Amino acid sequence: MPLSTALIAVGVLLAVAIGAGILWRVLDGRRRGGKGRRIALADLGVSAFAPAATLVLFSTETCARCPQVRRMLRQVADAADGVQQVDVDLTHRVDLASRHGILQTPTTFIVGPDGAVLARFAGVPRRADIEDALPSTTPVLESR
């Protein structure tokens, strides 16, 4: 293979890798709609959904970014009336990952009192995006 062809191939490969990295960075932690999904109480291991919203964090034992998301979700839940935070470890519940289309951890669902998924975040969401996705009847205290 001529050197010029090899350099062109390496350049194209590098451009594709950079483009994929930029796309991944842009989409990480972005809000997506619930798309009519519902989640069952039995999936979460809780007896009832919170009156306003339930913040559900899907994680795994080896997820490096999950602890920071867990702390942030707990702070949001503590600051808002009628909101609870629930952790679901997918390490031992692979069935939930396939049932709810979870391809990466952390993944966060905001679930309404009726079990409907109001919003979905794949990756590390920003606190402001989580607060904005909460139902409007839920007052969130300023604690940033």
Determine what percent of the chain is predicted with pLDDT higher than 70. 85
Could you tell me the two tokens for 121? 């975040």
- The C-alpha atoms of residue 37 and residue 17 are separated, in whole angstroms, by 33
Distance from the Cα of residue 46 to its chain's centroid: 19
Third-level CATH fold of 31-133: Glutaredoxin (3.40.30)
Q: What is the pLDDT of residue 27?
A: 60
Please count the other Cβ atoms lying within 10 Å of the Cβ belonging to residue 112: 19
Q: What is the pLDDT of residue 43?
A: 83
* Chain segment 77-109, per-residue pLDDT in tens: 999 999 999 999 999 888 999 888 888 899 999
Determine what percent of the chain is predicted with pLDDT higher than 90. 44
Q: What is the pLDDT of residue 74?
A: 96
All structural domains of the chain with their residue ranges: 31-133
Question: What's the whole-model pTM score?
Answer: 0.74
On whether the CB atoms of residues 34 and 116 are closer than 8 A, the answer is yes
Among 92, 88, 97, 101, smallest CA distance to 55 is for 88
Residue 17 pLDDT class (50, 70, 90 cuts): confident
